[in-house]
Each structure stands twice: as C-alpha cells, then as structure tokens.
Amino acid sequence: MKQEIFSIMSNQLPPSKQQLPSQKNSRLFILGRETTLSLAEIKAFFESRNLDFSIGFQSENKLVVESTNFPDSAQTIKRLGGTIKICEPIGVVRNSPIELADRLNEYIPEGKIEFSVNDSKSLGIETKKRLKNLGRSARYIEANNTATVIYNNLVKKGADIIIVNNIAFATKGIQSIDEFSARDFGRPGRDDESGMLPPKLAMMMINLATQPLDSVIYDPFCGSGTVVTEAMLMGYKNIIGSDSSEVAINDTQKNVTWLLDRYNLDINNFNLDIFQYDATLISKRIKQNSIDAIVAEPFLGKPMRGNELISAIESQASELKYLYTKAFAEMYKVLKPNGIIVFIIPRFHVKNEWVKIDCEKEIEKLGFENASILPDQKHLLYWRETQHVGREIWRFRKI
Ligand SMILES: C[S@@+](CC[C@H](N)C(=O)[O-])C[C@H]1O[C@@H](n2cnc3c(N)ncnc32)[C@H](O)[C@@H]1O
C-alpha cells in the first residue's frame, strides 16, 4: 500500500524545502510496509509524549520529521512497530562523492570507514575512491536490506547513509528483525487456527492508544497474549488480558513467562490480570470506569481459503457485527471517560471483492466517537495482497 498522504516529490518542492531549515531538528524515519499506519504510529508516539511534531517531507517510505526535542533514536526504534530505521542528519550532500566523502571523513574521524549509501552503487564506489585519496581506509557495502546493515554493524561502527533532499542522514536506530521474529515465531503459546497478531502490529496499535506508561491497558480478546506481552515490553505495568477460551489463557500465561525470561523482566514490577471471560459480559468482572485503553484484535471469523461463497461471508460478517457491537457496549462500561479503544475490524477479500463489516454507526450510538490519529483516515488498513482477511484498525474515544 503506497498511500502518500503527505507526499511531495523532491523535484516539486518549493526552494525553501530543498534544504531542510535546521538539520539538527530533523530525523529521517524509514517506514515499514504499511506506510500510513507507520506514520500514524509515529505521530501518536510524539503526541503521547508531548513532543512537538511536524512533517518536513514524505515520499513513499521516507518520512522526515521535524521537532525541537527528539528522543534518543536507538531507544525510540525499540518502541515503534512500524519504523525500520531512524536516521540523523550528518550534513549536506548534493549527490556528489566529494561531498559524501567529506561528510564521512568528519562523521568517522578515525579507523576504517565502512559505509553504505542508498540506491546508488556508483556513488558508493566513487565515494570510496575519494576517501582513499583523502588517505582514509574505506569499504563500501552494498546494503539493499536491513539485514545487511545489521550484520555489517553499520549503525554502531560504520555509516548507513540515506540521502534525502541533499541531506545525508546516518542510521542511528534500526529495527531488530531477530527480536520481532523471535516474538512472532519463537514464543511457546501459539494458535495458528485463530490467528495471532504480528507483534509489530500489536506494538503499533498500543502506540495508537497514546497512553502514558502508568495507564491500565486491556485486551478482552487476548488470544495468545500478543498485546499483553508487547505492552509489557513497551514499559506498561498495569495490563489486563481476557479471552473466552481456556486454551488461549494458558497460551497467554506461557508467553508471559517466556517474555519475562527472554528479556530478564521481573514479574513483581507488573500488575497483570489474565483470566478467562466472555468479552460480551466483561462489566460483570471488571470495575466500571477503570480502564484507560482497550487494544484488541477480536475473533475474525473462520479461517478463509478465498473460494467461499460471498453469501456465506456476508452472513459471517453480520454475526461478527453482532459480537463486536455487544462487546463495545460492555467495553463502554469498563472504560474511563475519554478512554480509548484501538480495535481491529476485519474485511474479507473474496473473488476480488471486499465484504466489509459496517458497525461504525452502532458503535457511535453506544457513546463513542471516531478518534483517528490521521484526521483524513477514518481507519487504517493492514493487509497483504495474498491475505483473504484485511485488518481495519479503528480508534474510538468514549465520550
Ligand atoms: C484472532 S484471536 C486473537 C489473537 C490475539 N490478538 C493474539 O495475538 O494472540 C481471537 C480470540 O478471540 C477469542 N474469542 C472469541 N469470542 C470471544 C468472546 N465472546 N469473548 C472473548 N474472547 C473471544 C478467541 O478465543 C480467540 O482467542
């Protein structure tokens, strides 16, 4: 999906934007596959920390953010599910190897300079020659993917350079592919039948809830506990997870234990409540007006093959609409006033058509308002073309 809502191609930029006004106050974010969702997550991340945020430039997966108080890039990348790299400006480079070599010479003042530069092998090779002329030992690495940057240790020891609008940015934070994949595929409690939220998406959804770390976060359809465990890792302490299935609750508990061990976390620092319960009855178990935010991927219907009859999928859609509306009525009771719900509503791709679940009006009638992070996007879509189920990510506020 390449929705370029703020997109302006560099050659169409007004002269004032051709060079960023203050390099110090900009960071380049390389966004994940769902660029609009990634952008919404970054905006939510800044808003929830009261950091000023504006967009200097966006094209496809490159987003230049301007702010006067950026948090540390290497730490921030660990808290964002939808960002692949965070890069800091090192100086002006007008696509010339001479200028890039000068910038690298300053950036890595001693030892061998190992570097990569985006999309341009010839620039890399010419820059290496120029560095040799300057008396520096240099190695150019053609790094077309994140793994090559990580395995060559270019973030800590070398320089992974990305040039945007004549500014060279060096990567300072890079998403850990290995950690995400360990949490996705290495956790002991798995339910491939009901499906599990990818940890990156769970992290993005938690960020979209824009909650401070002392809030109470709740997932009433917790399954094997991805929202619970990602929230723990992000620093939340008060977390509730429930599910109608006993197996799911056992899986969540196993995954919590696994996470504590893998990340050396102390269970005593958390206030966790994990229990079996039907989401359409939860106000009988959870105190009214006690939850700050609900983040959930509910039951999405039976696993699909793509050859189902549209009528069968439509009938499943109306059953799910009934379940979600009932769950929202209960979630309303347990949420604090102004409480937030970040919730997945599935849409089904059958025979090149979408069958959607339209429950926005019912949810609004219960006392919620749409509280999307990006005002021109009522919801955000997470979907790959090979998938039969797309996930719409909605954000509501209890009025
Ligand atoms: C798609 S899975 C959620 C997966 C979860 N997000 C994860 O990452 O593991 C949906 C879950 O909803 C649960 N469920 C279905 N109906 C429910 C209900 N009425 N109340 C609570 N949980 C329900 C299922 O047991 C299942 O675990």
Lowest mean pLDDT segment, chosen from 170-174, 272-276, 349-353, 378-382: 349-353
* Atom nearest to 222 CA in ligand 1: 5
Angle between helix 121-133 and helix 97-107 axes, rounded to 10 deg: 60
Confidence of residue 23 (pLDDT cuts 50, 70, 90): low
Mutate which of 197, 221, 330 for ligand 1? The one with the most ligand atoms within 8 Å of its CB, which is: 221
Residue 326 is encoded by which pair of tokens?
A: 């009932």
CA–centroid distance, 226 to ligand 1, in Å, is: 11
CA–centroid distance, 321 to ligand 1, in Å, is: 15
Mutate which of 244, 246, 276, 334 for ligand 1? The one with the most ligand atoms within 8 Å of its CB, which is: 244
Residue 229: how many other CB atoms lie within 10 Å: 26
- Amino acid in position 62: K
Tokens 């001479």, residue located: 98
Residue 20 is encoded by which pair of tokens?
A: 């960023």
**Within its chain, how far is the Cα of 371 from the centroid?**
18
Check residue 191 and give its pLDDT: 78
* Atom nearest to 197 CA in ligand 1: 8
196 CB within 6 A, ligand 1: yes
CA–centroid distance, 56 to ligand 1, in Å, is: 40
343 CB within 6 A, ligand 1: no
Check residue 22 and give its pLDDT: 54
Specify whether the CB–CB gap between 68 and 18 falls below 8 A: no
* Atom nearest to 251 CA in ligand 1: 9
Question: Residue 21 pLDDT more than 70?
Answer: no
Q: Identify the residue whose C-alpha is closest to ligand 1 atom 26.
A: 223
Query: pLDDT: is 3 or 59 the higher one?
Result: 59
- Residue 195: CA atoms inside 13 Å, Cβ hemisphere, count? 20
CA–centroid distance, 311 to ligand 1, in Å, is: 24
Question: Residue 252 pLDDT more than 50?
Answer: yes
Nearest by Cα to 221 from 323, 319, 313? 323
226 CB within 6 A, ligand 1: yes
CA–centroid distance, 358 to ligand 1, in Å, is: 20
Which residues are CB-neighbours of 268 under 8 A, at least 6 positions away?
none
d(CA 140, CA 174): 19
d(CA 70, CA 28): 11
197 CB within 6 A, ligand 1: yes
Residue 198 is encoded by which pair of tokens?
A: 């990818």
Tell me the average pLDDT across 146-174: 94
DSSP-assigned states of every residue in 250-302: HHHHHHHHHHHHHTT--GGG-EEEEEE--GGGGGGTS-TT-EEEEEE-----S
Which residues are CB-neighbours of 56 under 8 A, at least 6 positions away?
17, 20, 26, 64, 65, 66
Tell me the average pLDDT across 110-125: 94
Report pLDDT digits (tens) over 348-375. Answer: 998 888 999 999 999 999 999 999 999 8
d(CA 241, CA 208): 18
Q: What domains, with CATH codes, occur in the chain? A: 10-174 (3.30.2130), 178-398 (3.40.50.150)
CA–centroid distance, 222 to ligand 1, in Å, is: 6
Specify the DSSP element, H or E, that contains 324.
helix 310-334
CA–centroid distance, 361 to ligand 1, in Å, is: 23
Residue 394 is encoded by which pair of tokens?
A: 């909605």
278 CB within 6 A, ligand 1: yes
